[in-house]
Amino acid sequence: MSVEREIELIHQEGDQIVWQAYGLDEFILSVPPTVYPPRDDSSLLDRTLAELGPGHGKHLLEIGCGSGAVSIAAGLRGWKVSACDINPLAVAATRGNAASYGFEWGSEIKEGGPGDIEQWMPSQGVDVIAWNLPYIEPDSGDSLGPMEDSALIGKDEASQLLECVNYNPNLLNAGGVILLLHSSNQIGHEIGRDWRKEGWATRNVSQLVVGDERLTVVACWRPFENAMISRVESCASTNDAIFDLGMVRQGTFLSTKFQHSGRGYAGREWLSSEDGFMGSWSISEKSINNGPELIQLASNVAILDAIAATLNLGLPSHSWVHGSALEAHGVRVKWPNDIWLRTQDGFGKLCGILVEGRTQGDDVQIVLGVGINRKSVPQLIDSIGWDSLFPNTFEELLPVIHASVASVLEVHPMVRDTSIEHILNSLYSTMRCTLAEGRNLAFGLDDKGGLLTDSGIIRSTGEMRWEWI
């Protein structure tokens, strides 16, 4: 019956659609009846690509090109374009529509896609991969045929692409980015988690609300490419070890098995458990763009993300609502720089974060230090380890934490900067504090990360005590 329906629709006339690309003149597209037409999601993906600036010959691969609307708009902005679609009529439509605007792409538009044989891949690496992922429930109406309906919703498409880029690392050029558009439903929330677990950085870069649905473009990239990653047996402090390297590439990372002069917030001594995580990153001074205190707060969210991904939960940096799922596992932020964990046996400090800055002439060097206990520290009363949450080793956690730090803090030329408002909302959703007098403390965070209270803004831990509510 599906084949019969497809044949019936193929013989119907297509539509002539006038489409407005972002910042370009309107153009006309021929859309066969079984091909997905440009809609609000197409416009969102097109706008996200347009914000990358002129192509200047950079190479774009669009997966699921449909009528070719997004690909043609990119071509008009100076991108070299390759595209693919599982629907052969979409391939024909894209080729024909492109030709009407002077693009003879021919063999650059291929049939197939991730999960298919490799014939859909371009022969050369690309700088951007863009995919308006299937997320729409199949329509019982006549607008699309069974062939196109089969591509409208599913769970494995983003995972199939992840397998492809891991299997063929030359598909995405160095410094490249993958843009995945999806609805913020359960499947959409899994994209960030699954890519983080494979060591990829992810960040929401564009959103659009359509009716009761929120469409989101997620950028995925290799974290801190070409930055040095090293591990030493022992050192005084990983922060100092990074400072001693001088002005190094952002993302330069050093970890150690033992620190003999580790320090935490306000100069306090930092003691870590055996086999714990002690490491530091060089961070761009332009990260977050508001100074070390906000970088420190944002770093809390990065570590929360790493914990969430390891627990197979949604990422707080992708949506503040995921903080409640972490709370259900006993994970909370102790403002401004600690992450604590509550279990049936009590609660304790799981993670400490310290951001420091030094000036060298006109240069500012910023270093982020993170210490996470694997086990409780015998010398400390209030300490706990990640082994109370999951059994992972340092080696297993490192790529997830490294990717999460990049996801929040890396300055990438093809990825929109992290929204500090979004970071503060995600952070506050995992906090519970009280004043020393026992009154309810915070009802929010200001734009500098201070705690908003009835008695004013608190910017120092000396003005408060923290307890579980």
Confidence bin at 173 (pLDDT 50/70/90) = very high
Residue 209 lies in a domain: yes
Q: Do the domain assignments include residue 461?
A: no
160 and 199 both lie in a single domain = yes
Reduced DSSP (H G I as helix, E B as strand, rest coil) percent helix, strand, coil of the chain, to 5: 30, 30, 40
Position 361 in a domain? yes
Residues 153, 289 within the same domain: no
**pLDDT, average across residues 43-68:** 97
> Do 386 and 287 fall into the same domain?
yes
pLDDT tens-digit readout, 289-320: 656 678 888 999 999 999 999 999 999 999 88
User: Based on the domain organization, do 184 and 329 belong to the same domain?
Assistant: no
Q: Which pLDDT band, with edges at 50, 70 and 90, does 6 fall under? A: very low
Q: What total number of domains does the chain contain?
A: 2
> Do 73 and 22 contact (CB within 8 A), yes or no?
yes
Indicate if 273 and 359 belong to the same structural domain. Answer: yes
Residue 440 included in any domain: no
Residues 243 and 171 in one domain: no
The per-residue pLDDT for range 209-224, each reduced to its tens digit, is 988 888 999 999 999 9
Query: What is the Cα–Cα distance from 144 to 152, expressed in whole angstroms?
Result: 10
Q: Is residue 178 part of a domain?
A: yes
Domain termination site, one of 172, 199, 221: 221
Per the structure, the complete domain to which residue 129 belongs is given by 2-221
Going from the C-alpha of 187 to that of each of 107, 184, 205, 215, 425, the distances in angstroms are: 33, 8, 18, 12, 22
Calpha distance 74→383 (Å, rounded): 53
Query: With 60 as the cut, is the pLDDT of residue 232 above it?
Result: yes
Residue 437 lies in a domain: no
Give the range among 153-162, 183-192, 389-398 with minimum mean pLDDT: 153-162
Shared domain for 252 and 292, answered yes or no, is: yes
The domain boundary, picked from 221, 252, 273, lies at 221
Q: What is the CATH number of the domain that holds 111?
A: 3.40.50.150
Same-domain check for residues 70 and 201? yes
Query: Has residue 154 got a pLDDT over 60?
Result: no
- Tens of pLDDT, residue by residue over 191-201, are 999 999 999 99
Residue where one domain finishes, among candidates 197, 221, 245:
221
Domain identity same for 163 and 30: yes
Strand arrangement, sheet containing 80-85: 109-111, 80-85, 59-63, 126-132, 172-183, 213-221, 201-210
Q: For position 342, what pLDDT does the model report?
A: 87
CATH of the domain at 410: 3.30.930.10
Tell me the pLDDT band of 430, cut-offs 50, 70 and 90: confident
Distance CA 429, CA 324 (A): 7
pTM of the model: 0.89
- 182 & 316 share domain: no
Q: Is the peptide bond before 336 cis (omega within 30 degrees of 0)?
A: yes
Please check whether residues 90 and 171 belong to one and the same domain: yes
Does residue 245 form part of some domain? yes
Write the DSSP symbol of residue 46: H
- On whether residue 452 sits in a domain, the answer given is no
What is the chain's mean pLDDT, rounded? Answer: 85
Mark whether 216 and 236 lie in a shared domain: no
* Pick from 251-265, 330-344, 434-448: least confident: 434-448
